[in-house]
A = this chain, B = another copy of it.
Amino acid sequence: MPTASDVARLAGTSTAVVSYVFNDGPRGVAPATRERVLQAAETLRYRPNEVARALSAGRTDSVGLVVPDITNPFFAEFARALETAVARHDKLLLIGDSAMDATREDRLIETFVDRRVDALIFASLRREPRLSVASQQGVPCVGLHPLGPDVPASSVSIDYSAAACRAVAHLVASGCTHIGMLNGPTTEITSEDRANGFMHATHAEQVRTTRRETEMTRRAAFETCLVWLSSSDRPDGIFAACDEQALGVLAAAHRLGLNVPIDLAIVAVDGTSAGAYAVPSLTSVAQPIVALADRAAALALSPPSSGPVHEELPFHLEIRSSTRSRPADR
């Protein structure tokens, strides 16, 4: 593992010049010297130590992403889009999975900050993520959902309440008379928003409503629905908080011999590609995943603005086979 001084020695010059050559600046280097340095670096197979570079430069050219569950297709697809987005800024994305554990979420955030990521992007399990360490170090933070007013972070997300409302309106328009809502844990702020949207969409309608809450996993959704959908007066339409849960609903419906969408219509929020290839394909309010990633990267990496910025991006209902829509919709 050769260092810059090894290269300098072999090239008969100093470490400063080696640095100038590898960084194209801030000072110019005579073509002949430059060539000797590159030659020496080549023969020694020199590669700058990024740790030392980071210590000296005060930045690591990396962005930390904290998600609750990388096996949830929404987060996996988002991570992929974000990696592409930050790569355009010449940054490396570091993905951390908190495994739906608040303690691990805290530790991940702290670890990333201690390792001096240039920015932090997160989907938190709580409405008030512990960002004190980050804000104290001056690390720009961007959340993927609405945040409490005192949280020192920007946010980029859709309007979850409106999205839920749109989804449920679709169920109503499809003729559902008993609509069930499968929500995520109410510790998450988006669950509250979705509940509001659900109420808004149903309260003036002639439909029964029922609600359940489960962890945001297909397994939990599956098990909840095995019971729920066995009941004699089961819902004929279900609004799931996210695609991940909806996949569990689909599995449960199939297990119980229910025909989707005839016996049971299902709509969710996320619009993942996993939902598009589900059986039957899942109707879902699609989040603009790539745009969310692009904006999150831009906010996180742009010169520190005066204060937190909160952006809401548009969504659209992707009607597929898990709901029966009126002919006009197809």
Contact = CB atoms under 8 A, between A and B. Distances in A.
A114 B251 contact: no
Q: Which of A251, A254, A277, A281 has the most CB of B within 10 A?
A: A277
A170 interface: no
A111 B92 contact: yes
A218 B280 CA distance: 14
A49 B114 contact: yes
A29 interface: no
A99 B80 contact: yes
The size class of the interface chain A forms with chain B is 35 or more
A83 interface: yes
A54 interface: yes
A119 interface: no
Copies in the complex: 2
Given A1-B137, A76-B70, A277-B247, A97 B83 contact: yes
Contacts of A113: 47
A36 to B, nearest CB: 22
Contacts of A50: 111, 114-116
A147 to B, nearest CB: 22
A71 interface: yes
A131 interface: no
Nearest to A79: B70
Contact of A55 (B51, B92, B133, B137): B51
A248 B71 CA distance: 18
B222 A251 contact: no
A138 interface: yes
A16 interface: no
Interface in A102-153: 110-111, 113-116, 133, 136-138
A277 to B, nearest CB: 4
Given A80-B99, A94-B94, A218 B49 contact: no
Interface in A28-58: 45, 47-52, 54-55
Nearest to A110: B47
A219 interface: yes
A200 B228 CA distance: 46
Contacts of A248: 277
Interface string A265-290: 00000000110011111000000000
Interface of A: 1, 45, 47-52, 54-55, 60, 62, 69-71, 73, 76-77, 79-80, 83-84, 92-97, 99, 110-111, 113-116, 133, 136-138, 218-219, 222, 247-248, 250-251, 254, 273-274, 277-281
15 contacts: A47-B114, A51-B54, A51-B55, A69-B80, A70-B76, A70-B79, A70-B80, A70-B95, A92-B96, A95-B97, A218-B273, A219-B277, A251-B277, A251-B281, A279-B280
In order of increasing CB-CB distance, the 10 nearest A-B pairs are: A95-B95, A279-B279, A50-B114, A71-B76, A251-B277, A254-B279, A50-B115, A218-B277, A94-B94, A51-B55
Given A47-B137, A71-B73, A251-B281, 12 more contacts: A47-B110, A51-B54, A60-B115, A71-B76, A71-B273, A71-B274, A95-B97, A218-B273, A251-B278, A254-B279, A278-B279, A279-B280
